[in-house]
Amino acid sequence: MRSFHATHDEPGILALPMTAAYFQLIMRRFGEGGASRTALLAGTDYGDEATAAAEIPVRSQLRQLTNLDRVAPAGWGLELGATLDVVTHGPSGLIAVTATSLRGALDAVVRYMTVRTPFVDLRATEESGRFSLRIVEPCALGAVRTPLLEMVLLSLQATIESAMGRRMGEASFTMPATRPAYWRRYDEFFHAPVTFAGHAARVSLPAEWLSLPCPLADPIAHRSTWTRLESTRQRLAGDFADAQVERILATGSDAGAPLGEVAAQLRLSTRTLVRRLAQRQTSFRDLLDRHHRERTAELLAQPHLSVAEIADRLGYQEATNFGRACRRWFGISPTAWRRRLRDC
Residue 249, CA distances (Å) to 35, 45, 126, 188, 231 in order: 53, 40, 25, 45, 14
Mean pLDDT value across the chain: 87
- As a whole number of angstroms, the distance between CA 117 and CA 113 comes to 6
- As a whole number of angstroms, the distance between CA 253 and CA 269 comes to 22
DSSP classification of residue 75: T
- As a whole number of angstroms, the distance between CA 233 and CA 25 comes to 24
User: Helices 145-164 & 102-116, crossing angle to 10 degrees?
Assistant: 150
Question: What are the tens digits of pLDDT across the range 225-268?
Answer: 988 888 777 666 555 777 788 878 877 888 999 999 999 988 88
pLDDT band at 107; cut points 50, 70, 90: very high
- As a whole number of angstroms, the distance between CA 310 and CA 254 comes to 9
CATH architecture of 10-211: Alpha-Beta Complex (3.90)
Is residue 136 a contact partner of residue 152, using CB atoms and an 8 Å limit?
no
- As a whole number of angstroms, the distance between CA 183 and CA 189 comes to 11
Predicted model pTM: 0.71
Is residue 123 a contact partner of residue 136, using CB atoms and an 8 Å limit?
yes
Question: For the residues of 271-333, what is the DSSP string, one character each?
Answer: HHHHHHHHHTT--HHHHHHHHHHHHHHHHHT-TTS-HHHHHHHTT-SSHHHHHHHHHHHHSS-
Least confident of 28-37, 212-221, 282-291: 28-37
pLDDT band at 160; cut points 50, 70, 90: very high
Write down the domain spans for the chain: 10-211, 239-343
Please list, in sequence order, all residues whose beta carbon lies within 8 angstroms of the beta carbon of residue 49, skipping any fewer than 6 positions away: none
Residue 139, CA distances (Å) to 9, 14, 58, 164, 261 in order: 8, 8, 10, 31, 35
- As a whole number of angstroms, the distance between CA 326 and CA 343 comes to 18
pLDDT of residue 55: 84
Residue 101 has pLDDT above 50, yes or no: yes
Average of per-residue pLDDT across 200-205: 96
- Alpha-helical segments (H) within the chain: 10-15, 21-30, 34-41, 58-71, 76-81, 91-97, 102-116, 145-164, 186-189, 219-235, 241-250, 259-265, 270-279, 284-300, 307-313, 319-330, 334-343
Residue 152, CA distances (Å) to 2, 196, 297 in order: 18, 16, 28
Give the β-pairing of 172-175 and 202-206.
Answer: antiparallel
pLDDT of residue 50: 56
Pick the CATH number of 239-343 from 1.10.3080.10, 3.40.50.2300, 1.20.1630.10, 1.10.10.60: 1.10.10.60
